């Protein structure tokens, strides 16, 4: 892929990504927010492809946009929120804390990134980001976190069932 | 590749997970009316995990992602003791409310397994996953009772702020990864620069949420009040121990590894957090008439004293002293706070709908005249209150003394002064409960009898607090021996 | 070639949007979606650094984060349902049986 093509693609993915992320925050209706979030996940998957993370791009679409967002939408539908509950926004004080805090954090991180300087992307082999290569790391270097994650998923299942049950 | 030694070192964690699986299956296969065996099983697995600690090989595991050292072993013991005591409390509390199910104990065991793993973690990714295992279990325990609005609300607030904190922690870890090329704590060695500093400060914010340090404490009182009392006791003892264990490890790795002026920068930030936490926690506890909320603010204040210990551990001249002071403090606090919550569980008002005028469910006036009606219960509560206040001869005094000694060893006189002054402030609100029990006439109806298991939990906790108060040497010696291996 | 800093700045923007959203929004489900945005920003950072350094561990970490996000979503949405059931609202401001009085 040519350098200019990559730049063009980057902006094609990045601008709608930020726009749909902002859409999540701007939306009043949770269904609109969820749809914006789904589109953000899709654009993000495009960015992942640019970063040679092909497997993760697929996982992003299948697990995040597919499974997790369906769960969100299910709950939104289940609660059948009326307009009254969508209501007004939070107290203005906390709102300003949020905006100022986010801006401060952005300045902190971006200035830190700027100080660490632009680093050129390293050339990578053909198997970078493939199922085989990522899988090998998962089961060797990251075996302990992998097994701990299996416990985590079990906790989540038990916890979700216990919490959502109507009666104990 | 992991060896058999690696697996053996993980044995406490694996036993707790196994216990959780057994408890879940017990609900399927043994539907008999008597469920008493479930808390018994929980205690048995907690004891097995604690007994496995001395046999765990002391070594670095899985390429440095975890370590099984004396420090982790001590934290495991504290978590297991907290789990066993809160299971005893849970047995009585849940049974009288007709909500005892195996899932409760399974979630508690899962939570404990996350805490044990967090105590061993020396890698940010593993710590993140361990924090999530612990947190998801504790959120679910907080929402466990289906009575009234409070438990789900407590879980809700805990969840929103907890996962917000986790996300901040994770983003900090991502920046850390960028700066060092790894998520191992040991990778900090030789690193530096603005990116690492930004990552570390975000990680610190995330952990400050988890240990409830001011100004990231806002969730604590609501969550502690709304969660069922046995779950509150478990999270006060266990979550605090595990989160502080990882915080201590992280701070020590930071001091060991970084070239930038950590002594000043980090010490300053942590010192500010500690002072704020001690002052605000005690100040907000002062006007609380609701004893459960008072204990919540007290737990914030205790986090401040623990931070003083962490700061002492970060200075080279008081490294060992500070580390062992943190451990002693965690052990003393865990036992004391579970005892206090157990007495509270006996005293709390039980209504068909807990929301109807339940603001006074834990009011201090419920303790009025308790000494004449239930002398032993009142005596135990007095012991726990004195221990939280740090009055000798209790475990709380030993803990506070060792933390302040360590801080003095680090020449952090300002922290010592603030610590002593705020401790004196704390005496006031702890003694209010004691005064109500011993000097005020009884107003309320006769309190319900303590279920036998809860009585056992209270007796064991009170005994431990007093024994450690009179002869602290075994505990402090054990904590001194349990040093960190980085 | 797009420099790595572009990707990292993009992630920082995404994180800031999510961060602001958590504190600004009132609807609990949208707050939760903003937390998901923050997790995604962290993931993008991991993957961008992995590409920059040519080591794949960042991609493996992103994998774990997706699993954690799924687990969090399951429990979190169950809690939202439990809150809704007991009080009929999920507005963050109106959930206030527990507070200092």
Tens digit of pLDDT for each residue in B56-82?
Answer: 888 888 888 888 888 999 999 999 999
Determine, for residues C98 and B136 on separate chains, whether the beta-carbon distance falls below 8 Å: no
CB atoms inside a 10 Å sphere around CB B304: 27
- Does pLDDT of C89 surpass 90? no
Tell whether the model's pLDDT for residue B31 goes beyond 80.
Answer: no
For residue A33, pLDDT beyond 60: yes
**pLDDT of B16 over the 70 cut:** yes
pLDDT digits (tens, 9 = 90+) for B216-235: 888 899 899 889 999 999 99
> Among B174, B190, B194, B170, which Cα is nearest to B182's?
B174
Residues 162-191 of chain B with CB under 8 A from chain A are 175, 178-179
pLDDT at residue B481 is higher than 90:
no
Confidence tier at C18 by pLDDT (50, 70, 90): very high
State the burial class of residue B61 (Cβ atoms within 10 Å of its Cβ: 0-12, 13-18, 19+): buried
A152 at the B interface (CB within 8 A)? yes
CB within 8 Å: B140 and A159? yes
Residue with tokens 């589109």: A39
Name C67's bridge partners. Answer: none
Look at residue A84 in the predicted model and tell me its pLDDT.
Answer: 42
Q: If we measure between CA atoms, which residue out of B181, B178, B200, B180 comes closest to residue B190?
A: B180
Chains A & B: contacts with CB separation below 8 Å:
96
Q: Identify the closest residue of chain B to A139 by CA–CA distance.
A: B1
What pLDDT, on the 0 to 100 scale, is given for residue B67?
87
If one looks up domain A1-86 in CATH, what number appears? 1.20.120.1200
Higher pLDDT, residue B364 or A2: B364
**Ordered domains of chain C (ranges, CATH):** 4-87 (1.10.287.3510)
Interface contact flag, C25 A72, Cβ < 8 Å: no
Task: Using a pLDDT cut of 90, give the percent of chain B over it.
Answer: 51
Task: Map tokens 């990559």 to a residue.
Answer: A6
Q: Nearest CA to B430 among B282, B329, B209, B313?
A: B282
Which tens digit of pLDDT belongs to each residue from B251-291?
A: 888 877 665 555 567 778 888 999 999 999 999 998 888 88
* Closest C-alpha among C38, C59, C39 to residue C50: C59
User: Which comes out higher in pLDDT, residue B55 or B141?
Assistant: B141
- Contact assignment for C75 to A156 by CB distance below 8 Å: yes
Task: Answer whether C59 sits within 8 Å of A56, measured CB to CB.
Answer: yes
For residue B258, what pLDDT is reported? 60
Asked if the Cβ–Cβ distance from B195 to A116 is below 8 Å, we say: yes
* pLDDT above 70 as % of chain A: 86
The pLDDT of B358-374, averaged and rounded, is 79
Choose the closest CB to C20 out of A34, A98, A145. Answer: A98
Percent of chain B with pLDDT over 70: 93
Q: In sequence order, which residues have a C-beta less than 8 Å from that of residue A117 and are 6 or more positions away?
A: none
Predicted confidence (pLDDT) at residue B388 exceeds the cutoff of 90: yes
Query: Cβ–Cβ of C45/B359 closer than 8 Å?
Result: no
B123 to A8, B7, B128, B291: CA distances (angstroms)? 37, 17, 9, 38
| Whether A75 and C81 lie within 8 Å, measured CB to CB | yes
CA B313, B314, B315, B316 torsion-angle sign: positive
- Assigned token pair, C25: 């929004």
pLDDT of residue C99: 65
Q: What is the pTM of this model?
A: 0.93
Using CB atoms, pick whichever of B128, B140, B225 lies closest to residue C98.
Answer: B225
Residue A83: is its pLDDT beyond 50?
no
* Pairwise CB contact (< 8 Å): C3 & A134: no
* Contact between C42 and B171 using a beta-carbon 8 Å cutoff: yes
Among B148, B178, B293, select the one facing C86 at the smallest CB separation.
B148
Examine the pLDDT at A124 and tell me if it is beyond 90.
Answer: no
Q: Are C8 and C48 in contact (CB under 8 A)?
A: yes
Question: Residues of B with CB below 8 A from A118's CB?
Answer: none
pLDDT band at B424 (very low <50, low <70, confident <90, very high): very high
Cα–Cα distance measured from residue B274 to residue B2, given in angstroms and rounded to the nearest whole number: 39
Tell me: pLDDT of A87 over 50: no
Handedness of CA B314, B318, B320, B324 (dihedral sign): negative
Is the pLDDT assigned to residue A146 strictly greater than 60? yes
**B128–C68 CB contact, under 8 Å:** yes
> CA B191, CA B198: separation in Å to the nearest integer?
13
Give the pLDDT band (50/70/90) at residue A88. very low
The answer, yes or no, to whether residue B302 has pLDDT greater than 90, is yes
* Spatial contact of C32 and C76, defined as CB atoms under 8 Å apart: yes
Q: Give C39-57 pLDDT, tens digit per residue.
A: 999 999 999 999 888 888 9
User: Subunits touching A (CB < 8 Å, at least 3 pairs)?
Assistant: B, C
Q: How far is C1 from chain B (nearest CA, A)?
A: 19
Q: Which residues of C touch A97 (CB under 8 A)?
A: 23
Q: Tell which wins on pLDDT, A88 or C18.
A: C18
What is the C-alpha to C-alpha distance for residues B401 and B403, in angstroms, rounded to an integer?
A: 5
Paired residues of B66 in beta bridges: B61, B121
Supply the pLDDT for residue A17.
94
Q: Does B136 touch chain A (CB under 8 A)?
A: yes
CB-based contact B194 A163, cutoff 8 Å = no
For residue A141, give the nearest of B63, B99, B133 by CB distance. B63
Query: In this model, does residue C93 exceed pLDDT 70?
Result: no
Instruction: Say which of A10, A53, A91 has its CB closest to residue C47.
Output: A53
Contact A119, C4 (CB under 8 A): yes
To test the contact with chain C by mutation, choose from B163, B165, B172, B209 the residue with the greatest count of C C-beta atoms within 10 A, namely: B163
Structure tokens at B6: 């690696």
Residue B355 clears pLDDT 60, i.e. is over it: no
Q: Residue B61 carries which DSSP code?
A: E
Chains B, C: CB contacts within 8 A come to: 119
pLDDT of residue A97: 79
Against chain C, the chains showing at least 3 CB pairs within 8 Å are A, B
Domain extents in chain A: 1-86, 87-117, 125-168
Q: Do B125 and A145 touch (CB under 8 A)?
A: yes
Taking every pair of C-alpha atoms in chain A, what is the biggest distance, in angstroms? Answer: 61
Is pLDDT of B350 > 80? no
Res. A32: pLDDT tops 50: yes
Q: Give the whole-angstrom CA distance, residue C83 versus residue B163.
A: 17
Closest CA to C24 of C37, C11, C12: C37
Q: Which residues of B touch A141 (CB under 8 A)?
A: 63
Cβ pair B142, B151 in contact under 8 A? yes
In this predicted structure, what is the pLDDT of residue A89? 47
Query: Which chain B residues are Cβ-neighbours of C76 within 8 angstroms?
Result: 139, 159, 163
Strand partners, B121: B66
More confident residue, C4 or A68: A68
Q: Are B207 and B131 in contact (CB under 8 A)?
A: no
Higher pLDDT, B480 or B443: B480
């Amino acid at each position: 892929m040519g350098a200019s093509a990559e730049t063009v693609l980057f902006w094609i993915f990045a601008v709608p990504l930020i726009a749909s992320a902002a859409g999540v925050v701007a939306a009043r209706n949770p269904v609109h927010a969820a749809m914006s979030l789904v589109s953000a996940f899709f654009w993000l998957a495009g960015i992942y492809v640019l970063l040679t993370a092909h497997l993760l791009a697929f996982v992003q679409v299948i697990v995040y946009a597919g499974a997790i967002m369906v769960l969100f939408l299910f709950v939104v539908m289940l609660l059948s929120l009326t307009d009254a509950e969508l209501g007004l926004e939070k107290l203005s004080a906390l709102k300003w804390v949020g905006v100022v805090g986010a801006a401060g954090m952005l300045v902190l991180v971006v200035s830190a990134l700027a100080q660490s300087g632009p680093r050129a992307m390293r050339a990578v082999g053909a198997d970078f980001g493939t199922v085989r290569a990522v899988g090998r790391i998962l089961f060797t270097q990251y075996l302990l976190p992998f097994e701990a994650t299996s416990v985590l998923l079990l906790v989540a299942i038990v916890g979700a069932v216990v919490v959502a049950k109507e009666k104990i | 590749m992991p060896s058999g030694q690696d697996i053996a070192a993980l044995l406490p964690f694996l036993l707790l997970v196994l216990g959780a699986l057994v408890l879940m299956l017990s609900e399927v296969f043994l539907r008999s009316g008597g469920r008493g065996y479930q808390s018994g099983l929980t205690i048995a697995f907690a004891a097995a995990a604690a007994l496995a600690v001395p046999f765990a090989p002391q070594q670095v595991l899985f390429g440095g992602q975890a370590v099984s050292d004396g420090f982790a072993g001590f934290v495991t013991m504290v978590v297991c003791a907290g789990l066993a005591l809160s299971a005893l409390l849970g047995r009585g509390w849940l049974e009288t409310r007709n909500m005892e199910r195996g899932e409760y104990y399974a979630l508690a065991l899962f939570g404990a397994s996350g805490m044990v793993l967090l105590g061993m973690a020396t890698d940010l990714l593993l710590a993140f996953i361990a924090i999530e295992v612990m947190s998801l279990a504790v959120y679910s325990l907080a929402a466990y009772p289906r009575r009234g609005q409070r438990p789900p609300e407590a879980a809700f607030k805990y969840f929103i702020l907890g996962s917000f904190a986790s996300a901040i922690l994770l983003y900090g870890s991502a920046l850390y990864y960028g700066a060092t090329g790894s998520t191992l704590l040991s990778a900090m060695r030789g690193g530096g620069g603005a990116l690492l500093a930004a990552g570390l400060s975000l990680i610190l914010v995330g952990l400050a949420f988890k240990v409830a340090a001011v100004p990231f404490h806002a969730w604590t009182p609501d969550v502690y009040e709304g969660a069922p009392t046995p779950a509150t006791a478990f999270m006060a003892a266990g979550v605090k121990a595990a989160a502080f264990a990882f915080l201590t490890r992280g701070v020590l790795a930071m001091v060991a590894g970084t070239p930038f002026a950590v002594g000043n920068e980090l010490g300053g930030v942590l010192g500010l957090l500690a002072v704020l936490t001690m002052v605000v926690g005690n100040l907000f506890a002062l006007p609380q008439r609701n004893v459960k909320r008072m204990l919540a603010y007290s737990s914030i204040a205790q986090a401040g004293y623990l931070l003083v210990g962490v700061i002492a551990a970060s200075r080279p001249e008081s490294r060992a002293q500070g580390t062992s002071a943190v451990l002693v403090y965690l052990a003393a606090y865990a036992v004391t706070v579970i005892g206090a919550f157990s007495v509270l569980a006996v005293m709390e008002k039980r209504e068909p709908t807990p929301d109807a005028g339940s603001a006074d469910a834990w009011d201090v006036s419920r303790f009025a005249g308790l000494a004449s009606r239930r002398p032993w219960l009142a005596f135990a509560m007095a012991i726990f209150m004195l221990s939280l206040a740090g009055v000798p001869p209790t475990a709380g005094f030993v803990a506070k003394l060792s933390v302040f000694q360590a801080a003095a060893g680090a020449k952090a006189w300002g922290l010592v002064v603030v610590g002593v002054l705020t401790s004196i402030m704390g005496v006031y609100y702890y003694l209010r409960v004691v005064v109500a029990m011993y000097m005020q006439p009884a107003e309320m109806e006769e309190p319900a009898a303590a279920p036998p298991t809860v009585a056992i939990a209270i007796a064991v906790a009170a005994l431990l607090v007093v024994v450690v108060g009179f002869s602290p040497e075994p505990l402090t010696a054990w904590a001194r021996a349990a040093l960190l291996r980085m | 070639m797009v420099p790595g800093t572009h990707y990292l700045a993009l992630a920082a923007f995404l994180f800031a949007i999510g961060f602001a959203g958590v504190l600004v929004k009132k609807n609990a489900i949208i707050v939760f979606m903003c937390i998901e945005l923050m997790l995604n920003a962290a993931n993008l950072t991991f993957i961008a650094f992995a590409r920059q350094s040519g080591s794949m561990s960042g991609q493996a970490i992103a994998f774990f984060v997706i699993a954690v996000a799924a687990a969090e979503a399951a429990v979190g949405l169950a809690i939202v349902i439990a809150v809704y059931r007991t009080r009929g609202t999920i507005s963050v401001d109106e959930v206030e049986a527990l507070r200092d009085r």
